[in-house]
Amino acid sequence: MKDGPSIVRVAALIGDHARAEVLTALLADRALTATELAGIAGVTKQTISAHLAKLLDAGLVSVEHQGRHRYFRLADHDVAQLLESLMGVAFRTGAVRLRSSPREPALRKARVCYDHLAGEFGVLAFEALLARRVFKSDTNGLTLTNAGAAWFAELGIDAAAAASKRRAFCRPCLDWGERRHHLGGALGTALLERLFTLGWARRTKDSRVVGFTPQGELAFRALFAAA
């Protein structure tokens, strides 16, 4: 018996090498032009246009028009979560690149998972918050406790504002490198943005790497020290 939606079309689209490179690049939650994506995928502008048309038709990417330019990004958080999950399976099964990027260790340490903090630091933060009972688990997943809301408020994060966004509020997101969870959802996004605002970390240009300053790393580790 064949039940549920068919994954064949989506799997085939993602499985193409050039399209996989495009989708992986867009995981940084930055809008990129077709020319930029062609360079990343190693194909011509004509070829990338055909790939992007297929991804748009399938609802895996979206496009924004600004004047004569078109900027592409992932369609939504569900697509980002799917790609991160695939990376986790690929990493676990040994499907790694033959040539690792020089940024690989930095990616493993701290990176953007679409719009929230992932890597070693993301896992460290999430597990520290769980130990402090900032969250409780129920049938709906994670719920922020009153103490948790107060903790985020002390850090300068308005949890109520994050909860009002039309997306998942807080959820565990499996980290492909650590094979444990980091904090996803709108609250995870708010936490990462706060780290940037505090000046503890910043995005590395043209990369998903999140680089911490020496002082920022000390402050981060102190904030999320074992409870």
Tens-digit pLDDT profile for residues 127-179: 999 999 999 877 667 889 999 999 999 999 999 999 898 888 888 888 877 77
Please list, residue by residue across 35-69, b when 16 or more beta carbons sit within 10 angstroms of its beta carbon and e when fewer do: ebbbebbebeeeebeebbeebeebebbbeeeeeee
DSSP SS3 for 64 = strand
Q: Tell me which long-range contacts 62-70 makes (C-beta under 8 A, separation of at least 24).
A: 64/31, 69/33, 70/33, 70/34
User: What is the reported pTM?
Assistant: 0.70
Ordered domains of the chain (ranges, CATH): 8-75 (1.10.10.10), 98-223 (no CATH)
- CB–CB of 209/111 below 8 Å? yes
Backbone angles phi, psi at 76, to 5 degrees: -165, 180
Bridge partners of residue 209, in order along the sequence: 111
Q: Each residue of 53-107: pLDDT tens digit?
A: 999 999 999 999 888 889 998 988 888 888 877 877 777 776 655 444 546 788 8
How many residues does the structure list for the chain? 227
